[in-house]
Structure 1
Amino acid sequence: MTRQLSIAYTPDPDDAFHYHALETGRIAAPPGCTLGFTHAPIQVLNESCRQQVHDVCAISSVHYPAISDDYVILASGASVGRGYGPGLAAAAHSRFDDLVGRRVAIPGELTTGNFLLRYFYRGYTPVVMPFDAIAAAIVAGEVDAGVLIHEELLNYAEQPLRRICCLGARWYEHTGLPLPVGLNVARRALGTALIGALEDAIHASMRHGLDHYDEAMAFASRFGRGPQSLVREEFVAKFANDDTLLMPADVRAGLATLYERAVESGFIAKVPPLDLVDPSPQDVPLAAVALG
């Protein structure tokens, strides 16, 4: 009997690039399993894990403590910023840098961008809205500023917007560590063997994308917002690399530090156990994608 498994990720080029080979059958599903794929905004995926809707799911890193009893972390699939990450933006004509008394749009209460905003700033009023509506809301004057994520990070000039702060760069200045913005997690109820097989399949899919870049990029481009292929390629290049393939030691240290700081600031209640599932030993990470 075939087992149906659900994999969920954000409708963004980097996630689509990672899953191209699995979703199109270039890489096989674990034996005895078929895979169904769901694409949804990160806040929706975060909330879905509370009900264990998906077997494998992309989530915001800061949301993992709330679901750690039910999910383990997969070493493949993390979104990691090395000196970059969510950005705080305001209208291009604005002159303020202090957020006291300002209305600031956030892409969800459960997101890593929201935690970083709360960690570094005080005295503002948060306004939750879809991540892809934040830039337009700033330009329209509906909010004074907003936290940008995903491809919106590369579109400051087109909006037009002014970057107040790169929250990922500020994190690095404070910690000296990379910022794990998002994670791939798998339901503990699947069992050790199946979780390991899924990790290997996802890892292989990501390696396939790096080996067959043009093919995977063409698939990923279906998920981009707007016609700018160079923007999509730049975004994918930031997250299609060794950090995504294997989550190296300094990224794991960054994740542990993220949870420690989140507890210290009252954003989360506890530091979760970092139960990570690595790919099989025969899988060796590839070099990062370099775009000329």
Structure 2
Amino acid sequence: MADPLGIAYSPCPNDTFVFHAWAHGLVPGAPAVDVTFADIDITNGMAERGEGDILKVSYAVLPWVLDRYALLPCGGALGRGCGPLVLTRGQDGTNAPRGPGDLAGRTVAVPAERSTAYLLFRLWTAALVPGGVGEVRVMPFHEIMPAVRDGRVDAGLVIHEARFTYQRYGLHRLADLGEFWEGTTGHPIPLGAILAKRSLGAERLAEITHAIRASVRQAWADPEAGRGYVLAHAQEMERSVADAHIGLYVNEFTEDLGEAGHAAVRELLTRAADVGLVPRVSESDLL
């Protein structure tokens, strides 16, 4: 029997929902997997070092890793109305930024330097923040909203379930980078990608793609089957928030990127390369 494939994805509800069936041996004929849970900044680094057979990463890291990894056409996070948010403290008499221009020279917390969220943020600030922001601090995702609330940073870039919880911290949504992206390009937002090592070979990559799609379809057909798995890894997230998270990030693009999904990825990486934020990627690299 072949050794299990190493797969790393986040404990976020969308990933555990998508991979539950495969991770638990419920996809007939699928190769066995050995699962590692890791946040996106960790898996991005794993990809850059060539660690792991299958990884959930930020689309923003693709230009540095496509020599060793192939982009799979399923399993990732890409959609509409699901973009990162820029948050500040409430507007009740504080010195908090009140518009994009007020971020000039300010301190902003971000979850990872090579995240898609940060790439979108840099494209947004290049367009709307004259002179750019001041200090950028990378900190764990769960620490960003408290840091903004407590005034340790002027603004924070957040993703995922923060869309549903930021008001509990008394925070103000300064910008929705998804609205900026969709309004500027018309494309859905490419957030998280699934990669597999090219060295596994075409036949194995096809098996992996089939396993992911089958796992997604099983999750949709019987969402209660993986409920315990999702909530066990959801970092004390309420069930309603986990459900909203899944509903937002698991969609038709998760089953198949399709031409619309691939076009969105090409647009993101081309725009970023045009302004010198990432190395340029060729069309063949994304296949």
- Give the structure-2-normalised TM-score: 0.91
Equivalent residue number for residue 289 of structure 1? none
Residue of structure 2 aligned with 1:38, choices 28, 36, 39: 36
**Alpha-carbon displacement from aligned partner over 1:140-199 (angstroms, at most 9, x marks no partner):** 111000110121222111112111111011100000110111100000010000111011
Letter aligned with residue 51 of structure 2: V
Structure 1 residue 3: deviation in Å? 2.2
Structure 1 residue 219: deviation in Å? 2.0
Q: Which structure 2 segments of 5+ residues have no match? A: none
**Structure with greater proportional helix content:** 2
- Equivalent residues of 1:75, 1:276 under 8 A apart: no
| Residues 1:170 and 2:180 are matched in the alignment | yes
Equivalent residue number for residue 98 of structure 2? 96
- Give the structure-1-normalised TM-score: 0.90
Residue of structure 1 aligned with 2:122, choices 118, 123, 141: 118
Structure 1 residue 84: deviation in Å? 2.8
Cα distance in structure 2, aligned partners of 1:59 and 1:217: 23
Structure 1 residue 4: deviation in Å? 2.5
Equivalent residue number for residue 284 of structure 1? none
- Equivalent residues of 2:66, 2:286 under 8 A apart: no
Cα distance in structure 2, aligned partners of 1:218 and 1:239: 19
Structure 1 residue 276: deviation in Å? 5.6
Identify if the C-alpha distance between structure 1 residues 185 and 133 changes in structure 2 by more than 3 Å, giving closer, same or farther: same
Equivalent residue number for residue 255 of structure 1? 265
Equivalent residue number for residue 11 of structure 1? 11
- Equivalent residues of 1:89, 1:147 under 8 A apart: yes
Cα distance in structure 2, aligned partners of 1:227 and 1:49: 28
**Structure with greater proportional strand content:** 1
Structure 1 residue ranges, 4+ long, deviating more than 6 angstroms after superposition: none
Identify if the C-alpha distance between structure 1 residues 120 and 29 changes in structure 2 by more than 3 Å, giving closer, same or farther: same
Equivalent residue number for residue 150 of structure 2? 140
| Residues 1:193 and 2:191 are matched in the alignment | no
Q: Which structure 1 segments of 5+ residues have no match? A: 278-292
Structure 1 residue 96: deviation in Å? 2.0
Identify if the C-alpha distance between structure 1 residues 273 and 71 changes in structure 2 by more than 3 Å, giving closer, same or farther: farther
- Equivalent residues of 2:87, 2:172 under 8 A apart: yes
Letter aligned with residue 9 of structure 2: Y
Cα distance in structure 2, aligned partners of 1:274 and 1:178: 21
Structure 1 residue 77: deviation in Å? 1.1
| Residues 1:266 and 2:276 are matched in the alignment | yes
- Equivalent residues of 1:7, 1:38 under 8 A apart: yes
Equivalent residue number for residue 78 of structure 1? 76
- Equivalent residues of 2:79, 2:251 under 8 A apart: no
Letter aligned with residue 78 of structure 1: G
- Equivalent residues of 1:68, 1:273 under 8 A apart: no
- Equivalent residues of 1:91, 1:139 under 8 A apart: yes
